[in-house]
Amino acid sequence: RVEYSLDGGTSYTPTGKYAANQNFNLNTSGLAEGQTNILLRAVYNNGLTGAASQAVIYKDTLNPTVSLSNVQDNQEVESNLLLRGLIEDTNLVSWQVEVKDNFLSSYIEVLSSDDISGSNKNITGDGTDPYGTIGTIDLTNPDYHIGIGDRFYLKITATDAAGLQTVHTMRLTREE
């Protein structure tokens, strides 16, 4: 037979017509938001147990939050663009900031959660200010092809452990 437990709790043995073949569905609809550890192990007729297997699942129905506090769509911005805002989710895995001029066919990544050390990739405020610093983009970088007075696109994408994404895109102009 197979036993399973959720987050180290009580072990259960599935029953029903498919349990004898070790085929069963594990109903996760009642789980709370966030991470759940599932432990599975075989129990033989003589009572001995096999090696346990562990899986982690995430129940997440909410997309990450992405908002900027100091930049709005169609705004003129300085060449050293400081981005302040929120990028957060209970199970945030990654985020990236990308730019694209009017002529490039693809975006160029300029900032990302990979630039942050540690496991917490959220960008939030400090209690007195609800917004945090995401980073600074040097728009004079020739790889970006954004000249003085040029319009360009800024895109922020945040992804959580469930694969849910929020994409925030705006069109800006580099100040003269």
What single-letter amino acid sits at 152?
Answer: F
- Is the Cα torsion angle 13, 19, 21, 23 positive or negative in sign? negative
Instruction: Please determine, for residue 33, whether its predicted confidence score (pLDDT) is greater than 80.
Output: no
**CA distance linking residue 11 with residue 140, whole number of Å:** 60
Instruction: Please determine, for residue 42, whether its predicted confidence score (pLDDT) is greater than 90.
Output: no
Beta carbons within 8 Å of 41's beta carbon, 6+ residues apart: 2, 3, 4, 49, 50, 51, 52, 53
Band of residue 18 on the pLDDT scale cut at 50, 70, 90 = low
- Is the Cα torsion angle 97, 72, 152, 142 positive or negative in sign? negative
Q: What digits encode the pLDDT tens for the residues 117-143?
A: 777 889 998 888 889 999 999 999 999
- Please give the residue that has the higher pLDDT: either 134 or 91: 134
Task: Report whether 38 contacts 55 (CB < 8 A).
Answer: yes
Instruction: Please determine, for residue 69, whether its predicted confidence score (pLDDT) is greater than 60.
Output: yes
Q: Between the CA of residue 98 and those of 94, 104, 169, what are the distances in Å?
A: 13, 12, 9
* Per-residue burial over 101-116, b = 16 or more CB atoms within 10 Å of its CB, e = otherwise: beeeeebeebbebeee
- Please give the residue that has the higher pLDDT: either 18 or 168: 168
> Among residues 90, 104, 110, which one has the least CA distance to residue 157?
110
